[in-house]
Chains A and B, each alone.
Chain A
Amino acid sequence: MARRVILLAVFVAGLVCIGAAPAGAEINGPCTGSGAFNRGTKARGPFTVNAQDLKPGDVVEVPVKDTVHWKGDISGVSGNRKIDGFVAVDLPWPFGEATIDTWGKSTDLTGNEGEHSYSLPSLIPRGVEFEVSGQHSENGVVVCSGTAKVKVEGSAFDSPLAPIGLGGTAISGVGLAFAGRPVFKKLWAKDDA
Protein backbone atom coordinates (compact mmCIF):
# COMPACT_ATOMS: atom_id res chain seq x y z
CA MET A 1 0.00 0.00 0.00
CA ALA A 2 2.90 2.23 0.73
CA ARG A 3 3.95 2.26 -2.86
CA ARG A 4 0.62 3.71 -3.76
CA VAL A 5 1.11 6.55 -1.46
CA ILE A 6 2.82 8.98 -3.67
CA LEU A 7 2.17 8.79 -7.09
CA LEU A 8 3.80 10.63 -9.46
CA ALA A 9 3.98 7.22 -9.62
CA VAL A 10 1.02 7.48 -11.69
CA PHE A 11 3.49 6.71 -14.35
CA VAL A 12 5.43 4.30 -12.31
CA ALA A 13 2.27 2.58 -11.28
CA GLY A 14 1.18 2.52 -14.87
CA LEU A 15 4.36 0.75 -15.51
CA VAL A 16 4.03 -1.51 -12.63
CA CYS A 17 0.47 -2.51 -13.25
CA ILE A 18 0.36 -2.67 -16.99
CA GLY A 19 3.71 -4.22 -16.97
CA ALA A 20 4.94 -1.22 -18.77
CA ALA A 21 6.97 1.69 -17.63
CA PRO A 22 6.33 5.23 -16.82
CA ALA A 23 6.20 6.55 -20.24
CA GLY A 24 6.31 9.76 -22.06
CA ALA A 25 3.91 12.53 -22.52
CA GLU A 26 3.05 14.98 -19.86
CA ILE A 27 2.65 15.31 -16.16
CA ASN A 28 1.02 18.21 -14.38
CA GLY A 29 1.52 19.03 -10.73
CA PRO A 30 4.25 18.81 -8.10
CA CYS A 31 4.95 15.13 -8.70
CA THR A 32 8.10 13.49 -9.96
CA GLY A 33 8.89 9.89 -10.71
CA SER A 34 11.15 7.50 -12.50
CA GLY A 35 11.43 3.86 -13.45
CA ALA A 36 14.68 1.96 -14.08
CA PHE A 37 14.40 -1.18 -16.19
CA ASN A 38 16.91 -3.82 -15.18
CA ARG A 39 17.09 -5.73 -18.45
CA GLY A 40 15.56 -3.13 -20.72
CA THR A 41 14.95 -3.56 -24.42
CA LYS A 42 17.12 -5.26 -27.04
CA ALA A 43 17.78 -1.94 -28.70
CA ARG A 44 18.60 0.12 -25.61
CA GLY A 45 19.54 -2.36 -22.93
CA PRO A 46 18.88 -1.24 -19.35
CA PHE A 47 17.39 2.23 -19.22
CA THR A 48 15.71 4.69 -16.91
CA VAL A 49 12.68 6.81 -17.66
CA ASN A 50 12.12 10.07 -15.81
CA ALA A 51 8.55 11.29 -16.11
CA GLN A 52 9.57 14.94 -16.01
CA ASP A 53 11.96 14.49 -18.96
CA LEU A 54 9.30 13.21 -21.28
CA LYS A 55 7.78 15.49 -23.85
CA PRO A 56 4.24 15.33 -25.24
CA GLY A 57 4.18 12.81 -28.06
CA ASP A 58 7.05 10.75 -26.68
CA VAL A 59 6.47 7.02 -26.71
CA VAL A 60 8.48 4.81 -24.41
CA GLU A 61 9.26 1.32 -25.64
CA VAL A 62 9.29 -1.29 -22.89
CA PRO A 63 10.17 -5.00 -22.82
CA VAL A 64 7.53 -7.70 -22.48
CA LYS A 65 8.91 -8.66 -19.09
CA ASP A 66 11.36 -7.04 -16.77
CA THR A 67 11.98 -5.81 -13.26
CA VAL A 68 11.51 -2.11 -12.68
CA HIS A 69 12.93 -0.06 -9.85
CA TRP A 70 10.42 2.73 -9.45
CA LYS A 71 10.55 5.93 -7.46
CA GLY A 72 8.10 8.76 -6.92
CA ASP A 73 7.51 11.76 -4.69
CA ILE A 74 5.39 14.82 -4.29
CA SER A 75 6.35 18.24 -2.99
CA GLY A 76 4.40 20.91 -1.17
CA VAL A 77 2.51 18.56 1.13
CA SER A 78 3.14 17.38 4.63
CA GLY A 79 1.54 15.69 7.59
CA ASN A 80 -1.11 13.06 7.66
CA ARG A 81 -3.63 13.53 4.86
CA LYS A 82 -6.14 11.67 2.76
CA ILE A 83 -4.93 10.62 -0.66
CA ASP A 84 -6.52 8.85 -3.60
CA GLY A 85 -6.06 8.39 -7.29
CA PHE A 86 -6.00 5.98 -10.18
CA VAL A 87 -4.10 4.76 -13.19
CA ALA A 88 -6.01 3.68 -16.28
CA VAL A 89 -5.46 2.59 -19.85
CA ASP A 90 -7.44 4.31 -22.61
CA LEU A 91 -9.68 1.96 -24.57
CA PRO A 92 -11.46 2.61 -27.87
CA TRP A 93 -14.78 4.41 -27.87
CA PRO A 94 -17.26 3.70 -26.26
CA PHE A 95 -15.39 1.74 -23.61
CA GLY A 96 -13.59 4.71 -22.07
CA GLU A 97 -10.85 3.57 -19.72
CA ALA A 98 -9.85 0.38 -17.97
CA THR A 99 -8.67 1.14 -14.46
CA ILE A 100 -5.57 -0.83 -13.62
CA ASP A 101 -4.87 0.54 -10.17
CA THR A 102 -6.51 2.77 -7.58
CA TRP A 103 -5.46 3.96 -4.18
CA GLY A 104 -7.11 5.84 -1.37
CA LYS A 105 -6.21 6.10 2.31
CA SER A 106 -4.45 8.35 4.79
CA THR A 107 -0.68 8.72 4.85
CA ASP A 108 2.08 11.02 5.98
CA LEU A 109 4.55 9.94 3.30
CA THR A 110 5.67 12.27 0.54
CA GLY A 111 7.80 9.84 -1.42
CA ASN A 112 8.36 6.19 -1.97
CA GLU A 113 10.22 3.67 -4.08
CA GLY A 114 10.28 -0.03 -4.73
CA GLU A 115 10.92 -2.81 -7.21
CA HIS A 116 8.37 -4.64 -9.27
CA SER A 117 8.68 -7.53 -11.68
CA TYR A 118 6.13 -7.85 -14.45
CA SER A 119 5.41 -10.12 -17.39
CA LEU A 120 2.89 -9.05 -20.00
CA PRO A 121 0.58 -11.59 -21.68
CA SER A 122 2.01 -12.97 -24.94
CA LEU A 123 -1.14 -11.87 -26.75
CA ILE A 124 -0.40 -8.20 -26.21
CA PRO A 125 0.32 -6.52 -29.57
CA ARG A 126 3.88 -5.32 -30.12
CA GLY A 127 4.75 -1.86 -31.33
CA VAL A 128 1.24 -0.61 -30.59
CA GLU A 129 0.76 2.55 -28.59
CA PHE A 130 -1.07 2.38 -25.27
CA GLU A 131 -2.08 5.57 -23.55
CA VAL A 132 -1.85 5.39 -19.79
CA SER A 133 -3.42 8.19 -17.80
CA GLY A 134 -3.80 8.85 -14.13
CA GLN A 135 -4.22 11.33 -11.36
CA HIS A 136 -3.41 11.76 -7.70
CA SER A 137 -5.50 13.72 -5.20
CA GLU A 138 -4.63 15.14 -1.79
CA ASN A 139 -7.56 15.78 0.53
CA GLY A 140 -9.94 15.48 -2.38
CA VAL A 141 -8.13 17.94 -4.64
CA VAL A 142 -6.40 16.69 -7.77
CA VAL A 143 -2.79 17.79 -7.50
CA CYS A 144 -1.12 15.64 -10.14
CA SER A 145 -2.37 14.29 -13.43
CA GLY A 146 -0.84 13.13 -16.63
CA THR A 147 -0.76 10.82 -19.58
CA ALA A 148 1.94 8.61 -20.93
CA LYS A 149 2.33 6.64 -24.13
CA VAL A 150 3.90 3.21 -23.94
CA LYS A 151 4.53 0.50 -26.48
CA VAL A 152 5.84 -3.02 -26.08
CA GLU A 153 9.00 -3.89 -27.98
CA GLY A 154 8.94 -6.45 -30.78
CA SER A 155 7.44 -6.97 -34.20
CA ALA A 156 3.83 -7.81 -35.06
CA PHE A 157 4.48 -11.55 -35.38
CA ASP A 158 6.01 -11.76 -31.91
CA SER A 159 2.39 -11.76 -30.73
CA PRO A 160 -0.13 -14.47 -31.73
CA LEU A 161 -2.61 -11.66 -32.30
CA ALA A 162 -1.20 -10.99 -35.79
CA PRO A 163 -1.64 -14.54 -37.21
CA ILE A 164 -5.03 -14.81 -35.47
CA GLY A 165 -6.11 -11.55 -37.10
CA LEU A 166 -4.85 -12.54 -40.53
CA GLY A 167 -6.42 -16.00 -40.35
CA GLY A 168 -9.72 -14.60 -39.15
CA THR A 169 -9.70 -12.01 -41.92
CA ALA A 170 -9.11 -14.70 -44.54
CA ILE A 171 -11.80 -17.07 -43.22
CA SER A 172 -14.42 -14.37 -42.75
CA GLY A 173 -13.46 -12.98 -46.16
CA VAL A 174 -14.40 -16.32 -47.72
CA GLY A 175 -17.73 -16.19 -45.87
CA LEU A 176 -18.30 -12.66 -47.12
CA ALA A 177 -17.51 -13.69 -50.68
CA PHE A 178 -19.93 -16.62 -50.36
CA ALA A 179 -22.63 -14.23 -49.13
CA GLY A 180 -22.01 -12.15 -52.24
CA ARG A 181 -22.79 -14.95 -54.67
CA PRO A 182 -26.22 -14.77 -56.27
CA VAL A 183 -28.70 -17.39 -55.10
CA PHE A 184 -30.50 -19.26 -57.88
CA LYS A 185 -33.70 -21.10 -57.17
CA LYS A 186 -34.94 -24.06 -59.09
CA LEU A 187 -38.06 -23.07 -60.94
CA TRP A 188 -39.35 -26.60 -61.09
CA ALA A 189 -39.06 -27.27 -57.35
CA LYS A 190 -42.75 -28.15 -57.09
CA ASP A 191 -42.36 -30.84 -59.70
CA ASP A 192 -39.54 -32.43 -57.72
CA ALA A 193 -41.72 -32.94 -54.66
Chain B
Amino acid sequence: MKARGRPVLGGFAGFFFFLFLAVDLLAFGVIPLNSPLLTVLPVLGIFLGIAFAFWAPFGSRDKPAAAPPTAF
Protein backbone atom coordinates (compact mmCIF):
# COMPACT_ATOMS: atom_id res chain seq x y z
CA MET B 1 0.00 0.00 0.00
CA LYS B 2 1.42 3.35 -1.00
CA ALA B 3 1.06 6.36 1.28
CA ARG B 4 -0.66 9.33 -0.30
CA GLY B 5 0.40 11.77 2.45
CA ARG B 6 3.36 11.98 4.85
CA PRO B 7 3.22 9.01 7.25
CA VAL B 8 6.33 9.93 9.28
CA LEU B 9 5.03 13.44 9.87
CA GLY B 10 1.62 11.93 10.53
CA GLY B 11 3.06 9.71 13.27
CA PHE B 12 4.79 12.61 15.02
CA ALA B 13 1.89 15.02 14.59
CA GLY B 14 -0.60 12.37 15.68
CA PHE B 15 1.40 11.69 18.85
CA PHE B 16 1.56 15.35 19.83
CA PHE B 17 -2.00 16.10 18.76
CA PHE B 18 -3.42 13.39 20.97
CA LEU B 19 -0.95 14.16 23.75
CA PHE B 20 -2.15 17.76 23.90
CA LEU B 21 -5.72 16.57 23.55
CA ALA B 22 -5.18 14.48 26.68
CA VAL B 23 -3.66 17.53 28.39
CA ASP B 24 -6.76 19.53 27.42
CA LEU B 25 -9.05 16.88 28.88
CA LEU B 26 -7.01 16.92 32.08
CA ALA B 27 -6.77 20.70 32.32
CA PHE B 28 -10.52 21.12 31.86
CA GLY B 29 -11.33 18.49 34.46
CA VAL B 30 -12.88 16.01 32.05
CA ILE B 31 -10.61 13.19 33.21
CA PRO B 32 -8.81 12.69 36.54
CA LEU B 33 -5.04 12.58 36.92
CA ASN B 34 -4.97 8.79 37.17
CA SER B 35 -6.96 8.20 33.97
CA PRO B 36 -5.28 5.75 31.58
CA LEU B 37 -6.44 7.96 28.71
CA LEU B 38 -3.50 10.24 29.51
CA THR B 39 -1.04 7.60 28.36
CA VAL B 40 -3.17 5.68 25.90
CA LEU B 41 -4.22 8.64 23.75
CA PRO B 42 -0.70 9.72 22.65
CA VAL B 43 0.24 6.15 21.68
CA LEU B 44 -3.04 5.75 19.84
CA GLY B 45 -2.28 9.06 18.14
CA ILE B 46 0.86 7.66 16.52
CA PHE B 47 -1.14 4.97 14.74
CA LEU B 48 -4.04 7.26 13.90
CA GLY B 49 -1.61 9.87 12.54
CA ILE B 50 0.07 7.33 10.29
CA ALA B 51 -3.28 5.98 9.12
CA PHE B 52 -4.45 9.52 8.49
CA ALA B 53 -1.37 10.21 6.34
CA PHE B 54 -1.99 7.06 4.30
CA TRP B 55 -5.57 8.12 3.76
CA ALA B 56 -4.60 11.75 3.04
CA PRO B 57 -8.11 13.12 2.75
CA PHE B 58 -7.14 16.79 2.31
CA GLY B 59 -6.52 18.53 -0.99
CA SER B 60 -7.73 17.38 -4.38
CA ARG B 61 -7.62 13.63 -4.71
CA ASP B 62 -8.33 13.27 -8.41
CA LYS B 63 -6.05 16.00 -9.61
CA PRO B 64 -4.66 15.08 -13.01
CA ALA B 65 -0.92 14.70 -13.22
CA ALA B 66 0.76 17.98 -13.98
CA ALA B 67 1.73 18.39 -17.58
CA PRO B 68 5.43 18.66 -18.37
CA PRO B 69 6.65 22.12 -19.21
CA THR B 70 6.16 22.99 -22.80
CA ALA B 71 9.22 23.29 -24.91
CA PHE B 72 9.84 26.58 -26.61
Size category, A interface: 35 or more
B39 touches A94 (CB 8 A): yes
On whether the beta carbons of B27 and A177 are closer than 8 Å, the reply is no
Give the chain B neighbours of A186 by CB distance below 8 A.
Answer: 66
Is the beta-carbon distance between A130 and B68 smaller than 8 angstroms? no
Pick the contact of B37: A92, A127, A182, A184 (CB < 8 A): A92
Q: Does A45 contact B (CB under 8 A)?
A: no
**Residues of B contacting A125 in the complex (Cβ-Cβ under 8 angstroms):** 26-27, 29, 33
Given contacts A92-B38, A94-B39, contact A179 B9 (CB under 8 A): yes
Give chain A nearest CB distance to B18 CB in angstroms: 8
Given contacts A176-B52, A181-B5, contact A168 B36 (CB under 8 A): no
Count B interface residues, CB 8 Å.
45
Pick the contact of A176 from B13, B27, B28, B63 — CB < 8 Å? B13
- Which of B29, B37, B68, B69 sits near A128, CB closer than 8 Å? B29
Measured CA separation A94–B16 after assembly (Å): 19
Which among A21-29, A102-110, A134-142, A157-165 touches the partner chain? A157-165
CA distance A171 to B15 in the complex (A): 12
A-B CB contact pairs (8 Å), 14 listed: A90-B34, A92-B36, A92-B37, A93-B39, A128-B27, A130-B32, A168-B19, A168-B20, A172-B16, A180-B5, A182-B4, A182-B5, A182-B61, A188-B69
